[in-house]
Amino acid sequence: MGPHKRQRNDRIEKTCQHSAMKHPKQSKRAPPTHPSALAVPSYHRILVKHGLIEKTLSIPDAYEMFLKVGADPEVHKLRRKVARGNRIKHVPALYLATAMALQGMTKQELEALKLRIEKKAAIP
């Protein structure tokens, strides 16, 4: 009875040693490459991406600009055309239609939009 007990203990020990030697889990996510990018609201990132604001613009000013962009008749028209099925990563549904409308615009259209918004801002 003694040797069997010892063998059983050896097996348990080996199993424990083996499980302790297993590789650490690889499922850990890599840290985001630009943590500051995630600290900025999505509407800010959308406007920066399309060149409508500078990256350094304050968040309240960026939100005000985003509202102006969303209120623009051309963007409004494009927003209605946007297919609901398509999704853009990291964009909340609230901003999705405007983001997709901006994505569908050409550089010339984006420049014209920027000029229209600047004109509206200049008129008190």
Residue range 39-65, pLDDT digits in tens: 889 899 999 999 999 999 999 999 999
Residue 8 lies in a domain: no
Share of the chain above pLDDT 90, in %: 33
Is residue 17 over pLDDT 60? no
Residue 47: domain span: 37-124
Place of tokens 């350094």: 56
- Note whether 112 and 85 are within 8 A (CB): no
Say if 29 falls within a structural domain.
no
Counting the structural domains of the chain, the total is 1
Is residue 32 included in any domain, yes or no?
no
Res 76: pLDDT: 83
Whether the pTM exceeds 0.85: the reply is no
Query: Alpha-carbon distance 112 to 36, whole Å?
Result: 30
- As given in the structure block, the two tokens for residue 86 are 């398509």
Q: What phi, psi does 38 have (nearest 5°)?
A: -80, -15
Query: Do the domain assignments include residue 26?
Result: no
Distances (CA, A) of 90 to 8, 38, 113, 114: 54, 9, 24, 24
Q: Is residue 42 part of a domain?
A: yes
Please indicate, yes or no, if residue 3 is contained in any of the structural domains.
Answer: no
The tokens for 20 are 């302790």
The answer as to whether 89 is a domain residue is yes
Asked whether residue 6 is domain-assigned, the answer is no
Residue whose C-alpha is closest to residue 78's, from 92, 99, 64: 99
CA angle 17, 22, 26 (to 5 degrees): 160
